[in-house]
């Protein structure tokens, strides 16, 4: 097969997802990152629809996008209007992009119901619009909306819309699976038949409503499409578009169709996380290829095999897409999980110590601890096994009170006795709650010796009741997440007393900070 081209529509179709709203600066930054990654076509938006997209194209003209081509998106002309009178087509030309993508109807049902036009009138709208834009020297793509539904309802007319665009000079005909309801074998069969009758290069644009967006895209390539459209992380209207973060490695690593350079493919995980950060959505940690858990191993049998050969329970080497293998520690773990995590930290752990630690972890999990979301707690246990490790501080005792005073309202106070460098320090602090007071007191006793802790801040605190049937005497699990020095980490504590559970998580987090940030004032 000839080369398959990547057409990314994150900046247009992706922004139609609920909860996504990008500034012009956001769109420019993502466009640059997509170009650096190796995307061939970057759809920037619909310049005739809103001032933001018009500004984007004006500023994008100054972007250095390398070999990537910027595309402006719009529709074919309105019925009963000449192309030179149509404001949408004029806005597409004003965007001054090398590529123009126009959507038009390929389903007779939509032509009659939505456009309220005759079938021949719709064909004229397609022909006129494509010819008009092509005459202005642009590369033209015709997006055949609802093509697969239209093909099944009226094959002759759906193909006629493609032929109208082809005859007018379209460079690409993009078959749109707009409602996202088709299955892979339907897609491949329809594309294959279309390719036999239409000689203009074909692309495919799939939505994910039946959770087949990626599979349908790959099936379309098997059928003869040489351009694939999608969005990073599958963002898009309703449940989303075909996920480019999965399409790319599947094409390159599974189907043997190189679409980007190997060194660019290694940036895939970074790209997906970057886009998630810019759109301000939590990244799906279980996403294939680029999720944090995509190559995480929890079962002891799995990890035991991986220690012998990584490919026993991994379909690719994670580094190919810029990800990495992880071992998850839980009550389901085997000794290999511990040894694999120790190895990643540069700690040489013998079988006896690994088994001892594993037994301890399983005992703690039985008490209510969980370490899947609190890897810093496990890492700290591993560091404590090192012969040269010295705990940076040691708790002697603490005392916490919470009372309501008429003059000051609710008040929490904590006193902490802690040993640092052989010196016992006794410190007290107030807080807006007992855990906050404990944290303030402990940090007050440590920060003069370890000033790096001044850069560490709490970003999340979660409490979960483990046995709700026990009422107020239930076992409590606390997860605390801190950030500092470019790192984010989570530790866990569990107890029937929420203060005690919080103390375990809090003290471990601050000790972990001192291990991770390698600083002592």
The CATH number for 5-279, chosen from 3.30.460.20, 3.30.2080.10, 3.20.20.70, 3.30.1600.10, is 3.20.20.70
pLDDT bucket at 252, cuts 50 / 70 / 90: very high
- What is the pairing mode between strands 99-105 and 476-484? unpaired
Q: In the chain, what are the domain boundaries?
A: 5-279, 296-367, 393-449, 452-521
Encode pLDDT of 72-87 as tens digits. 999 999 998 999 999 9
Query: Cα(376)–Cα(357) distance, rounded to whole angstroms?
Result: 15
Q: What is the pLDDT of residue 306?
A: 58
What predicted TM-score, i.e. pTM, was given to this entire model? 0.72
Q: What is the mean pLDDT of the chain?
A: 86
In whole angstroms, give the CA distance from residue 413 to residue 517.
29
Does position 301 have pLDDT exceeding 70, yes or no? no
Residue 1: the pLDDT is: 59
pLDDT value at residue 518: 60
Helix axes 119-135, 87-94, angle to 10 degrees: 30
What's the pLDDT score for residue 519?
45
Q: b/e for 356-366, b at 16 or more Cβ within 10 A?
A: ebbeebbebbe
- Cα torsion 268, 272, 277, 282: sign: negative
The pLDDT tens digits for 132-162 are 999 999 999 999 999 999 999 999 999 999 9
CA nearest neighbour of 275 among 18, 1, 27: 27
User: pLDDT value at position 303?
Assistant: 54
Predicted local distance difference test score (pLDDT) of residue 134: 97
Return d(Cα 233, Cα 290) in angstroms, integer.
Answer: 9
Give the model confidence (pLDDT) of 236-249 as tens digits.
Answer: 999 999 999 999 99
Burial of 424-439, coded b for 16+ CB within 10 Å and e otherwise, reads ebebebebeebbbbbb
The CATH number that domain 393-449 falls under is: 3.30.160
With contact defined as beta carbons under 8 Å apart, do 73 and 43 qualify? Answer: yes
Name the token pair of 367: 């008490």
Antiparallel, parallel or unpaired: β 69-75 and 41-45: parallel
The DSSP 8-state label assigned to residue 427 in this structure reads E
Q: What are phi and psi of 204, to 5 degrees?
A: -140, 140
- Cβ-based neighbour number of residue 47 at 10 Å: 27
- Which one is predicted more confidently, 58 or 334? 58
> Cβ distance 220 to 192 under 8 Å?
no
- Say if residues 118 and 158 touch (Cβ distance below 8 Å): no
Q: What's the length of the chain? A: 521
What pLDDT score was predicted for residue 373? 59
* Residues facing residue 245 across a β-bridge: none
- Give, in order, the Cα–Cα distances in Å from 389 to each of 344, 383, 398, 425: 17, 7, 24, 22
User: How would you label 487-518 residue by residue, b for 16+ Cβ within 10 Å and e otherwise?
Assistant: eebbbbbbbbebbebbbbbbbbbbbbbbbbbe
* Beta strand segments in 259-350, E: 296-297, 326-327
Q: Looking at per-residue confidence, does 339 or 451 come out higher?
A: 451
Q: CATH number of 452-521: 3.20.20.140, 3.30.160.340, 3.90.1170.50, 3.90.550.10?
A: 3.30.160.340
**How far is the C-alpha of 266 from the C-alpha of 277, rounded, in Å?**
19
Q: In this predicted model, what pLDDT tens digit does every residue of 346-390 receive, in sequence order? A: 666 666 666 666 666 666 666 566 655 567 777 777 777 777 778
452-521 shares the fold of 5-279: no
Dihedral through CA 245, CA 251, CA 253, CA 254, nearest 10? 120
Angstrom distance (rounded) from CA 16 to CA 231: 11
Break the chain down into helix, strand, coil percent, rounded to 5: 45, 20, 35
Q: Are 8 and 244 in contact (CB under 8 A)?
A: yes
Question: Tokens 């309801």 map to which residue?
Answer: 181
Contact, 203 vs 141, CB < 8 A?
yes
């Amino acid at each position: 097969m000839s080369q398959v081209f990547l057409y990314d529509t994150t900046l247009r179709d992706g922004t139609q997802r609920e909860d996504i709203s990008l500034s012009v600066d956001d769109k420019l930054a993502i466009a640059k990152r997509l170009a650096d990654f190796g995307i061939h076509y970057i759809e920037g938006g619909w310049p005739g629809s809103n001032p933001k997209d018009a500004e984007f194209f004006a500023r994008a003209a100054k972007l250095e996008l390398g070999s990537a081509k910027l595309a402006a998106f719009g529709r074919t002309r309105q019925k009963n209007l000449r192309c030179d009178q149509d404001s949408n087509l004029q806005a597409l030309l004003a965007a001054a992009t090398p590529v123009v993508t126009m959507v038009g109807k390929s389903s007779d049902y939509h032509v009659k119901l939505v456009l309220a036009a005759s079938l021949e009138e719709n064909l004229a709208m397609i022909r006129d619009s494509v010819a008009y834009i092509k005459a202005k020297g642009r590369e033209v793509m015709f997006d055949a909306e609802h093509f697969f539904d239209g093909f099944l309802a009226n094959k002759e007319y759906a193909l006629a819309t493609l032929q109208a665009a082809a005859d007018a000079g379209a460079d690409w005909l993009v078959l749109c699976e707009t409602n996202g309801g088709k299955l892979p074998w339907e897609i491949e069969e329809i594309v294959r038949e279309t390719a036999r009758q239409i000689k203009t290069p074909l692309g495919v644009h799939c939505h994910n409503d039946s959770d087949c967006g990626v599979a349908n895209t790959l099936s379309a390539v098997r059928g003869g499409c040489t351009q694939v459209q999608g969005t990073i992380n599958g963002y898009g209207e309703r449940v989303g578009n075909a996920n480019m973060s999965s399409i790319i490695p599947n094409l390159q690593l599974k189907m043997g169709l190189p679409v980007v350079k190997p060194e660019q493919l290694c940036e895939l995980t970074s790209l997906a996380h970057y886009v998630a950060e810019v759109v301000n959505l939590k990244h799906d940690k279980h996403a294939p290829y680029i999720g944090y858990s995509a190559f995480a191993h929890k079962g002891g049998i799995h990890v035991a095999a991986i220690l012998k050969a990584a490919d026993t329970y991994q379909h690719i080497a994670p580094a190919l897409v810029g990800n990495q293998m992880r071992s998850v520690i839980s009550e389901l773990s085997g000794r290999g999980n511990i040894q694999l995590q120790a190895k990643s930290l540069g700690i040489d752990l013998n079988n006896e110590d690994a088994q001892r630690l594993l037994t301890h972890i399983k005992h703690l999990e039985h008490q209510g601890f969980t370490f899947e979301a609190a890897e810093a707690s496990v890492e700290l246990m591993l560091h404590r096994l090192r012969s040269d490790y010295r705990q940076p501080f040691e708790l002697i005792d603490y005392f916490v009170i919470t009372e309501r005073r008429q003059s000051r309202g609710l008040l929490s106070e904590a006193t902490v006795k802690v040993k640092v460098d052989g010196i016992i320090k006794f410190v007290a602090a107030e807080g807006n709650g007992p855990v906050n007071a404990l944290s303030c007191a402990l940090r007050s006793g440590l920060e003069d010796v370890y000033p790096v802790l001044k850069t560490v801040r709490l970003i999340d605190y979660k409490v979960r009741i483990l046995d709700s049937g026990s009422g107020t005497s239930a076992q409590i699990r606390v997860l605390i997440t801190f950030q500092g020095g470019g790192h984010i980490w989570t530790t866990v504590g569990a107890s029937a007393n929420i203060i005690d559970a919080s103390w375990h998580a809090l003290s471990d987090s601050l000790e972990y900070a001192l291990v991770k940030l390698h600083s002592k004032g």
